[in-house]
A and B are shown apart, each in its own frame.
Chain A
Amino acid sequence: MLTIAGLSKRYAKGDKALEDVSLSIPAGQVVGLIGPSGAGKSTLIRCVNRLVEPTSGSIRLGDTEITRLGGAGLRRARRRMGMIFQEYALVERLTVMENVLSGRLGYVGFWRAFLRRFPQADIDRAFAVLDRVGLLDHVDKRADQLSGGQRQRVGIARALVQEPDILLVDEPTASLDPKTSRQIMRLIVEVCAERQLAAIVNIHDVALAQMFVQRIIGLKAGRIVFDGPPAALDTPALTAIYGEEDWSRTIREADDDAADEAAAQDAVRILRAQAPAAAVARAL
């Protein structure tokens, strides 16, 4: 679904943020992107939807070469990429529904957007995703009246209502408590399984990443230094990503948590198994 080849990003001041990054993500796969602060995690996912301009390299979403798009072509490509943010990035003074409908702005004209006269099909989509994330009771509340977990659910709904092919998720749990973090991660992983979405999830919490994602990529100083299943993330791998530290507790805790989360993982696995043949075919 997403193929990145030889991607580099150098900022104007000369800092190398990304150095020859190559990776490929099939539909339906959730990838956890870990690494120390400043390793280039945010830059990488922002290069995919060109909120940050890559310096060189290629990014292909399906058959579309993202790096060469301009204007209307870029807007069409962005419609296929849903983004979820660390501090939710909702428009606080707008209602939950308006925030969710803003995910359809790539499809509707200015006057419809300005007057909030969205097509009925978009309103139906918005109600459906709000139902999925469990916010049907809060449709007309202002976004700033919600709790952190609820706001992130609005953020997820806004990304899903785009009906994207891929989710770009930037530190979704960094502002949330541990329990809400797990709920949000579980929701993201579940919706990706239901809709056969590829996803890149930037995440600081290694244990949380191991609990939920199928594949982990470790970035250090703009380069990929680890790419494998969560189980392969051992002490040498974590040392390669973050540097020298006592990693034994991180790994053991992850194992314990993994046991707690077994039920959720099973549910996701079943969903994946049941994913409609059509979706699998599209993924291939």
Chain B
Amino acid sequence: MTATHAPARRWRPPPLIANPVLRIALIAGAAIYLALALGTVEVNWARLSDGWARGLRFVSGFLEPNFSRRWDDIVQGMIESLTMTVTSTVVGIAISVPIGIGAARNVVPRPVYYACRAIIAVSRSLQEIIVAILLVAMVGFGPFAGFLTLSFATIGFLSKLLAEDIEDIDPAPVEAIRATGALWPSLIAFGVLPQVAPRLLGLSLYRLDINFRESAVVGIVGAGGIGATLNTAIDRYEFDSAAAILILIIAIVMASEYVSGLIRGRVK
């Protein structure tokens, strides 16, 4: 009964930012900036009402997709795109794995780490479209430019995520393998790669998927594939054909999503 006499001890979780003045100032500052930023967004209501009708025409095209009119072009574009996707993913992975290992702080000396991080930074800072425009100028129109673009983009993506995964591995088995007197490549093959294998497989499948979608985008700037076909259809206001192409792209992406889910479920 002594508890009734003692004052209740209150407890609140400690705040993220201990200083109350700083905490309130940061929250208020963020709110004011958001309000001002929203105020600067100009909305042209007249243009919006115009565009509404055009958008509707586009959407109505989707309601009656026309697969037959450009069927030969579509097949040709799809074959180009799929070829581009598979080859660029395979080449990209083959280059990404060594760069990803080199960009993991815990398994390589500092100079190698910085060199590989630099390669990744370059690959990631150049957006696919910009690379595609550059490469189309260099090697000409067609799927070869697309293949180079997607391979280049895969390196930035896969190397970075693989390197981060390697930096998170359990260091104990690596120490144990090192203690046996193993060569450095054997250390990687036994101590590191088995730990990251499921993640590497998952990322590769995901990148295959991204490369297919990107192949449609880079085609618009002249790098071949289904994107080129799509671009032609839209330029000619053939929204029904464009709709057919988009539906096929969505179907292929969904199918690859399903298959990669099955594969990832099997490998743990």
Contacts and interface: CB of A to CB of B under 8 A. Distances in A.
A106 B181 contact: yes
A90 B173 contact: yes
A85 to B, nearest CB: 6
A114 B189 contact: yes
A231 interface: no
A94 interface: yes
B181 A79 contact: yes
B175 interface: yes
Contacts of A78: 178-181
B252 interface: no
Interface stretch (A27-35, A97-105, A239-247): A97-105
Name which of B180, B183, B185, B189 has the most chain A CB atoms within 10 A of its CB. Answer: B180
Interface stretch (B74-82, B104-112, B153-161, B190-198): B190-198
Contact of A94 (B178, B180, B194): B194
B253 interface: no
Interface string A84-95: 010101111110
Given A79-B181, A85-B176, A89-B176, A102 B195 contact: no
Given A91-B190, A93-B195, A113-B190, A102 B181 contact: no
A263 interface: no
B176 A90 contact: yes
Nearest to A86: B172
Given A110-B189, A114-B189, A76 B173 contact: no
A213 interface: no
Interface in A42-67: 49, 51
B175 A89 contact: yes
Given A93-B195, A94-B194, A114 B186 contact: yes
B177 interface: yes
A51 B175 contact: yes
Q: Say which size band chain B's interface belongs to.
A: 20 to 34
Interface residues on A, range: 20 to 34
B182 interface: yes
B172 A89 contact: yes
B153 to A, nearest CB: 28
A168 B176 CA distance: 11
Nearest to A143: B173
A103 B195 CA distance: 18
A90 to B, nearest CB: 6
A75 interface: yes
A168 B181 CA distance: 14
A98 B178 contact: no
Contacts, number: 86
**Residue of B170, B178, B181 with most chain A CB atoms under a 10 A cut-off:** B181
A114 B176 contact: no
Contact of B190 (A81, A89, A94, A162): A94
Contacts of B183: 75, 105, 109-110, 113
A204 B239 CA distance: 75
Contacts of A74: 181
A85 B172 contact: yes
A79 B175 CA distance: 14
A170 B172 CA distance: 12
A105 B175 contact: no
Given A78-B179, A105-B177, A93 B186 contact: no
A238 interface: no
Contacts of A51: 175, 178-179
Contacts of B180: 78-79, 83, 102-106, 158, 162
6 contacts: A51-B175, A51-B178, A104-B180, A105-B182, A105-B186, A158-B180
Given A75-B181, A105-B183, A108-B186, 9 more contacts: A51-B175, A78-B178, A78-B179, A78-B180, A105-B181, A110-B185, A114-B189, A158-B176, A168-B179
Interface of A: 49, 51, 74-79, 81, 83, 85, 87, 89-94, 98, 102-106, 108-110, 113-114, 155, 158, 162, 168
